[in-house]
C-alpha cells in the first residue's frame, strides 16, 4: 500500500513575534520543518506533500534540497481546509499520515507505528496524556473506551475540559476516506475554521475503528508556538544527544552546556568540556580531548587529539592522530593535519596540508600551502597567497625552519632542511639545505639622544 505524508506548514506563528514563518525557525541548527521532512523521508517510497501559506517562498528555500510536492494554501481557513488542498496529489489507495511542520521531534518509530496501525484499523490517532491539558483538543470516549470525537478547548463543555487525554493532531487514514470526508467539513465552531479533528466523528459515523497510540516521550508531540517553547525543545533535544554520547562513553564537562547542530560520533575515552558547539558531520577518534568554548564544523578528528580552549575548526577539516590544536586557533576549510602536527595559539590555516610532526605554534597564517614533515613555522609568519585576483601556492619541504616574522610571497618553495632567517620576505625559491635572509643590515648610531617633549606654553 502506497504512503503519503502530508505536512502542514502554512501558519504564520504570531506568537513567535518574528517576521519569519514559524517553520523556518531553527532547532539544533536546522529549520523546524526540515526535522519533520527528514524523519518522514525515512519511510520507504513515501510521497511527501508540504502545505505552505505564510512566507511560502522562504519556507521552500529553507529546505530546497529535499524531494517534496509543494502545495499552497492561499487562505488559512483551518487544518481541515489545509489537508483538502492536498487531495489532488494523494496517491490512489494510499495510507495518509498527517504531520505538522512545527512539531519537529516526532520519532521514526512513532511514524512507523502509526502507519502500521492504520493498515489494520482504518484510522490511527496519536494522543498523549498531560497533567495540564490546557489549549489542546480533548479526546472524548464512550463508556466502552472507544474514541467518539475530538473537542477543541474553545468548544468543550465543563466536563470535557476535565479530560487529560489530548489530541496531538497527528493522524493516519486511507486516502479514499479523506477524499470522501474532507469536502463535508463545516466551520460552525468558535474559530470559524474547518477542523481536521472533525474527521474523527465522521469516521465513527462511518463505522471506522479509531486506534489510539501514544509516543514514547511526550516531547515528541510538543509543538513550537513561541520562542520560549523553542528554547525548551532545544534543551530537550541537546540533553538527549548528550545522553546518547555519555552512554557511548564520552565524558561531558556539563551535559547542559553542550550543543550538537548536526551529527557526532565518537570513540572511547573522549572528553568534551563546556560550551562546545558541533555542526555538520563530526567524527571523533578515541581519546580526543576538547577544551571549553570550541566550535567544530564538519571535521574528522583522529585518536588522542587535543583541541584546546576557544578554538574554531571550520571544515571540511581532517586532523590526524596525536595532534595538538590551540588555544585560540582557527582551522578553515581544506586544512589537513598529519600525525602529531601542532597548531598553536592565534594561528589560522586554510587549504593547508601540515605534515607529520610539523609546528605552527604562534600568531601565524598558513593558507594555500603544503608543509612537509618536521617543519617549524616561527611566530608571525604569513603565506602571502593572494594578489588581489588569484591564489598561489607555498611549498615547504621536510625539516625546513621558517624564522619569526617571515612573509612567504607565493608562489614560492622552500627546500628540504632549508632555513629562512627571522624577519625575511621571500619572493624566490630557497634551495635545499640553504639559508635565506632578506634582513636589512643593522646600523648603530652612537650617543643617540632621544627626543624630548617641548614645554607647552599657555
Considering the domain architecture, whether residues 243 and 352 belong to the same structural domain is answered as: yes
- C-beta atoms surrounding 384 within 10 Å: 18
Residues spanned by the domain of 387: 227-436
Considering the domain architecture, whether residues 18 and 149 belong to the same structural domain is answered as: yes
- C-beta atoms surrounding 163 within 10 Å: 17
**List of residues 6+ apart from 232 with CB closer than 8 A:** none
Q: Which of 13-22, 68-77, 191-200, 356-365 has the lowest mean pLDDT?
A: 191-200
Considering the domain architecture, whether residues 351 and 310 belong to the same structural domain is answered as: yes
Considering the domain architecture, whether residues 25 and 134 belong to the same structural domain is answered as: yes
CB-neighbour burial class of residue 61 (10 A; exposed 0-12, middle 13-18, buried 19+): exposed
Considering the domain architecture, whether residues 48 and 192 belong to the same structural domain is answered as: yes
Residue 90 confidence (pLDDT): 95
State how far the Cα of 436 lies from the Cα of 63, in Å rounded to an integer.
54
Answer yes or no: is pLDDT of 192 > 90: no
Share above pLDDT 90 across residues of the chain, in percent, rounded to a whole number: 78
Question: In 248-375, which ranges are continuous DSSP H helix?
Answer: none
Considering the domain architecture, whether residues 425 and 285 belong to the same structural domain is answered as: yes
End-to-end CA distance of the chain: 97
Considering the domain architecture, whether residues 136 and 241 belong to the same structural domain is answered as: no
- C-beta atoms surrounding 364 within 10 Å: 23
Residue 272 confidence (pLDDT): 98
Choose the catalytic residue: 54, 217, 362, 395. Answer: 362
Answer yes or no: is pLDDT of 22 > 70: yes
Q: ω before 411 within 30° of 0 (cis)? A: yes
Confidence of residue 121 (pLDDT cuts 50, 70, 90): low
| Contact between residue 49 and residue 71 where contact means Cβ atoms under 8 Å apart | yes
User: Residue 101, CB half-sphere, CA atoms under 13 Å: how many?
Assistant: 32
What is the average pLDDT across 205-213? 89
Confidence of residue 200 (pLDDT cuts 50, 70, 90): confident
**List of residues 6+ apart from 446 with CB closer than 8 A:** none
What is the average pLDDT across 212-234? 93
For the chain, give the mean pLDDT. 93
Cell numbers linked to 276:
562546545
Confidence of residue 187 (pLDDT cuts 50, 70, 90): confident
Considering the domain architecture, whether residues 314 and 418 belong to the same structural domain is answered as: yes
What is the average pLDDT across 422-440? 95
State how far the Cα of 114 lies from the Cα of 369, in Å rounded to an integer.
55
Considering the domain architecture, whether residues 55 and 155 belong to the same structural domain is answered as: yes
Share above pLDDT 70 across residues of the chain, in percent, rounded to a whole number: 99
> How many structural domains does the chain have?
2
To the query of whether residue 54 is one of the catalytic residues in this protein, the response is: no
For 320, phi then psi, to 5°, come to: -75, 170
Considering the domain architecture, whether residues 48 and 186 belong to the same structural domain is answered as: yes
Residue 216 maps to which CATH number?
A: 3.90.550.10
Nearest-CA neighbor of 49 among 62, 39, 61, 40? 40
State how far the Cα of 248 lies from the Cα of 181, in Å rounded to an integer.
49
**List of residues 6+ apart from 40 with CB closer than 8 A:** 5, 7, 46, 48, 97, 99, 111
State how far the Cα of 128 lies from the Cα of 207, in Å rounded to an integer.
24
Nearest-5° Cα angle at 183, 163 to 211: 40
Answer yes or no: is pLDDT of 120 > 80: no
Residue 224 confidence (pLDDT): 94
Answer yes or no: is pLDDT of 201 > 70: yes
Amino acid at each position: 500500500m502506497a504512503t503519503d505524508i502530508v505536512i502542514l506548514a502554512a501558519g504564520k506563528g504570531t506568537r513567535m513575534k518574528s517576521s519569519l514563518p514559524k517553520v523556518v525557525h531553527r532547532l539544533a541548527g536546522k529549520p523546524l520543518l526540515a526535522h519533520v521532512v527528514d524523519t518522514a523521508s525515512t519511510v520507504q517510497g513515501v510521497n511527501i506533500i508540504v502545505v505552505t501559506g505564510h512566507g511560502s517562498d522562504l519556507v521552500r528555500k529553507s529546505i530546497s534540497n529535499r524531494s517534496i510536492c509543494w502545495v499552497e494554501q492561499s487562505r488559512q481557513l483551518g487544518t481541515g481546509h489545509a489537508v483538502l488542498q492536498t487531495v489532488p496529489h494523494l496517491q490512489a489507495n494510499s495510507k495518509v499520515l498527517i504531520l505538522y511542520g512545527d512539531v519537529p521531534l516526532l520519532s521514526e518509530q512513532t511514524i512507523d507505528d502509526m502507519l502500521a496501525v492504520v493498515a489494520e484499523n482504518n484510522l490511527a490517532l496519536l494522543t498523549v496524556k498531560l497533567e495540564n491539558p490546557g489549549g489542546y483538543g480533548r479526546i472524548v470516549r464512550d463508556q466502552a473506551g472507544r474514541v467518539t470525537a475530538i473537542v477543541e478547548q474553545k468548544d468543550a463543555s465543563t466536563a470535557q475540559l476535565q479530560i487529560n487525554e489530548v489530541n496531538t493532531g497527528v493522524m493516519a487514514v486511507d486516502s479514499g476516506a479523506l477524499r470522501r470526508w474532507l469536502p463535508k467539513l463545516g466551520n460552525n465552531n468558535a474559530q470559524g475554521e474547518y477542523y481536521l479533528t472533525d474527521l474523527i466523528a465522521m469516521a465513527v459515523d462511518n463505522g471506522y475503528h479509531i486506534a489510539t497510540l501514544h509516543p514514547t516521550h511526550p516531547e515528541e508531540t510538543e509543538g513550537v508556538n513561541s520562542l520560549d517553547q523553542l528554547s525548551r525543545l532545544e534543551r530537550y533535544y541537546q540533553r538527549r544527544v548528550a545522553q546518547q554520547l555519555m552512554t557511548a562513553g564520552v565524558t561531558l564537562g556539563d551535559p547542559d552546556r553542550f550543543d550538537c547542530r548536526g551529527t557526532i560520533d565518537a570513540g572511547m575515552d573522549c572528553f568534551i568540556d563546556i560550551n562546545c558547539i558541533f555542526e555538520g558531520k563530526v567524527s571523533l577518534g578515541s581519546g580526543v580531548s576538547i577544551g571549553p568554548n570550541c566550535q567544530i564544523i564538519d571535521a574528522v578528528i583522529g585518536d588522542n587529539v587535543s583541541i584546546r580552549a576557544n578554538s574554531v575548526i571550520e571544515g571540511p577539516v581532517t586532523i590526524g592522530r596525536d595532534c595538538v590544536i590551540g588555544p585560540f586557533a582557527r582551522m578553515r576549510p581544506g586544512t589537513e593535519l598529519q600525525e602529531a602536527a601542532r597548531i598553536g595559539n592565534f594561528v589560522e590555516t586554510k587549504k593547508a596540508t601540515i605534515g607529520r610532526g610539523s609546528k605552527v605554534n604562534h600568531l601565524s597564517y598558513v593558507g594555500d600551502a603544503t608543509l612537509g614533515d618536521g617543519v617549524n613555522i616561527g611566530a608571525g609568519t604569513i603565506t602571502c597567497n593572494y594578489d588581489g585576483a588569484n591564489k598561489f601556492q607555498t611549498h615547504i619541504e621536510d625539516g625546513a625552519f621558517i624564522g619569526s616574522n617571515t612573509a612567504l610571497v607565493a608562489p614560492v618553495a622552500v627546500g628540504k632542511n632549508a632555513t629562512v632567517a627571522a624577519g625575511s620576505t621571500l619572493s624566490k625559491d630557497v634551495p635545499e639545505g640553504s639559508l635565506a635572509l632578506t634582513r636589512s643590515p643593522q646600523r648603530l648610531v652612537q650617543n643617540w639622544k632621544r627626543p624630548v617633549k617641548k614645554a607647552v606654553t599657555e
